[in-house]
Amino acid sequence: MKTRIISLTAIAAFVLLQSFTVNVPTLIETVSVTTSKVVWKGYKVSGSHEGTIDLKSGTLNFTDDKLSGGQFEIDMTSLTSTDLEGEYMNKLNGHLKSDDFFGVADHPTSTLVITEVTSVSKNAYEVTGDLTIKGITKPITFDASIYGNKATANLKVDRTIYNVKYGSGSFFDGLADNMIYDEMDLVIDLDF
């Protein structure tokens, strides 16, 4: 009899505690594609180039006021250089959009889907996601910060794992000053 009372009490306590469990809904914030900015920077032996890429869409997910996910679509057709002008800019833009680099005719968008977020401090996160470029998806981990309705992140991307191998010293010999480093930077500033 005592065992039954203890068992019934334990079951009642469990049911009571379960009734107070609250599922915190996820808040999905839409990222502004007009005021957000994605800056790329590529490096070569003789210098560097940089430019911008437009976002087509983006969302950030928050659970209990903490970043918990998100996804982004990047318009690769908008890829442009900002450190050159005129004929040189047009030539570089055309080359970056060609099959030598990002093949935007066949791959007009790239995506990033956040798969895991770890809170590092009040406003800082370690983010892991699936980055897709040229139809190839690979995991990437980077740091992100969120202050109010702004988020920033710096990504280092090894372009060669996405079959962007043009001028890579990892795949071609004798490039000398024409070698382009495998790693490129993406600096992301988001408004939501």
pLDDT at site 16: 47
Q: Residue 126 falls within a domain, yes or no?
A: yes
pLDDT at site 85: 97
Q: Residue 30 falls within a domain, yes or no?
A: yes
**Domain tally for the chain?**
1
Low-confidence ranges of the chain (pLDDT < 70): 1-24
Q: Residue 111 falls within a domain, yes or no?
A: yes
Q: Residue 39 falls within a domain, yes or no?
A: yes
Domain range enclosing 184: 24-191
Q: 139-191: per-residue pLDDT in tens?
A: 999 999 999 999 999 999 999 999 999 989 888 888 888 899 999 999 999 99
pLDDT at site 14: 52
Q: Give the Cα separation of 75 and 79 in Å (integer).
A: 8
Q: What is the CATH number of the domain that holds 135?
A: 2.40.128.110
- Please tell me the pTM assigned to this model: 0.85
Q: Residue 151 falls within a domain, yes or no?
A: yes
Instruction: Name the DSSP class of 25.
Output: P
Q: Yes or no: say if 150 and 190 are a contact pair by the CB < 8 Å rule.
A: yes
Q: Residue 19 falls within a domain, yes or no?
A: no
pLDDT at site 22: 54
Q: Residue 121 falls within a domain, yes or no?
A: yes
